[in-house]
Amino acid sequence: MIAIIDYGAGNIFSVKNALDFLGVKSALTSDPGEILSADKVILPGVGAFQWAMDKLEQSGLVDTVKKAASEKPFMGICLGMQLLFDKSFEFGEREGLGLIKGYVDRIPDTGLVIPHMGWNKLEYNRQCPLFEGLGEDEYVYFVHSYQAYCGDEALNAYVEYGSKIPAVVSDGKFVYGCQFHPEKSGQTGLDILKNFVSLREG
Amino acid sequence: MLAKRIIPCLDVRDGKVVKGVNFEGIREVGDPVECAYEYNLQGADEIVFYDITASHEGRGVILDVVRETAKKVFVPLTVGGGIKTVDDIRNTLRAGADKVSVNSQAVQNPQLIKDGADIFGSQCICVGVDAKAISPNKWTVYINGGRIDMGIDLIDWVKQCEALGAGEICLNSIDTDGVRGGFDLPMLKAVVDAVSIPVIASGGAGKLGDFAEAFLKTDCSAALAASLFHFKELTVGQVKDDCRSKGIIVR
């Protein structure tokens, strides 16, 4: 069973729809017991960093999330991926979950439209089990104005948009993050989700 | 870089895909969920449902269509037609849409764009604009499906939309719509040059090369068509192959 953390941060139904479509059992939940007993955990999210951290704290889920991420495959999607980092500078500095080294700040202004919205091509940087079966020409769907800034060791794939924007990150153990929306990225996104749910546990 | 998007549009009335044929009236051409799924298989980058349901009672039906589509189609979904209030936007997004397209109502009440963008984010607010030439390089904005000329300058309007927080403009040329002679490139270019948000070309696609032409001759981000795809004259895949062969980046 996959726990999709429901902390009021939107767009969770499309993640559930995608898992249903893949025939994978999942539950939208904010119950710590259910999250800790799940095989894998997904942290979705749309909106602002501070607001989402407030929601996680108000739901009393911060420790649960950290514990789950230390013992089983864990994926953050979009804002959920940004929350994995040490801190963000969106509307002022705010501490994140600290599961992956790095921070979150605005996409650099290179004259391109922000938000970075649309289909962009994955450029692979480091091998990652989420890429199993993917080809060279894989496009995924992005909608965001802030991005992660992290070291090369955490960067599995990026996209080019005036500068390099981290697309897939990981801590090398259980924690993965996708800046794009795999649940809105057609077959490529479904393949990535399928690879995640197929990861061996613990 | 971002791929150029090819977007099939489904006109939906009372939960059925419909299409006007030669002014003889509206014909049902299928189930919107099935059509959306088919387009998804063809490689559509996004799917637009344009709700032309006239009655208030029929309004809920489009939300069921979105809800069902979102269970099997995993690309962004946009709903346009009849969106009048922030509550309409909220209900549409909750049903599983990623964006809404507001048109006549935004012209009559521009605050809707700002409220929608403030509450849900610019990325979910697309403004649909119908316009027609009054002289070379001058166009005015129409509402109610192209029936009423509002006398508003197109360029002023799209700039205002951007300033109010619109995330995208879907530009439909009344002059080229249905003529099938290609997109209205002068109008498209003028709008793309006036705003920095993405512009979707709409109205006029009649043959394979029309899409690539719009991408090669203007900086539009996407191109939308309805009948061409409905009547299976072209598939999204064929359009993308043509674009790719001309050096345009598509997914």
Q: Cβ contacts (< 8 Å) between A139 and chain B: which residues?
A: 3, 251
Write out pLDDT tens, residues A136-155: 999 999 999 999 999 999 99
The pairing of strands A155-161 and A163-170 is: antiparallel
Whether ipTM tops 0.90, in short, is: yes
Q: Smallest Cβ distance to B251: which of A46, A47, A139?
A: A139
Q: How far apart are CA B16 and CA B13, in angstroms?
A: 5
Domain containing residue B63: CATH number: 3.20.20.70
Query: Where are chain A's structural domains?
Result: 2-197
Cβ-defined contact of A184 to B221 (cutoff 8 Å)? no
Interchain pair A117, B167: CB under 8 A: yes
Q: A125 at the B interface (CB within 8 A)?
A: no
Owning domain of residue B184: 5-245
**Quick one: average pLDDT of B57-77?**
90
Residue A201: which pLDDT band, with cuts at 50, 70 and 90?
Answer: low
Catalytic annotation on A183?
A: yes
Give tens-digit pLDDT for A5-56: 998 766 688 999 999 999 999 999 999 999 999 999 999 988 889 989 999 9
Tens of pLDDT, residues B192-204: 999 999 999 999 9
- Is A116 catalytic? The answer is no
Residue B186 has, within 13 A of its CA and on its CB side, a CA count of: 11
- Has residue B169 been placed in a domain? yes
Distance (Å) from the alpha carbon of B196 to chain A's nearest alpha carbon? 6
Q: In the structure encoding, which two tokens stand for residue B159, read together?
A: 């700039």
pLDDT surpassing 90 at residue B54:
no
Architecture in CATH of A2-197 = 3-Layer(aba) Sandwich (3.40)
pLDDT bin (cut points 50, 70, 90) of residue B146 is confident
pLDDT band at A113 (very low <50, low <70, confident <90, very high): confident
Which of A68-82, B56-70, B132-146 has the lowest average pLDDT?
Answer: B56-70
A73/chain B closest Cα distance in angstroms: 23
Residue in B closest to A188 by C-alpha: B74
Residue B21 has pLDDT above 60, yes or no: no
**Which tokens hold the place of A116?**
């970075």
Radius of gyration of chain A (CA): 15
Distances (CA, A) of B141 to B126, B147, B220: 16, 10, 19
Q: How confident is the model at residue B20 (pLDDT cuts 50, 70, 90)?
A: low
Instruction: Give the number of domains in chain B.
Output: 1
Give A-chain residues touching B121 at CB under 8 angstroms. 46-47
What does pTM read for this prediction?
A: 0.94
B51 counts as catalytic: no
pLDDT band at B36 (very low <50, low <70, confident <90, very high): very high
**Cβ(B101)–Cβ(B127) below 8 Å:** yes
Q: Between A20, A186, A190, which is nearest B71 by CB?
A: A20
Residue at B251 is within a domain: no
Cβ neighbours, 10 Å, residue A32: 17
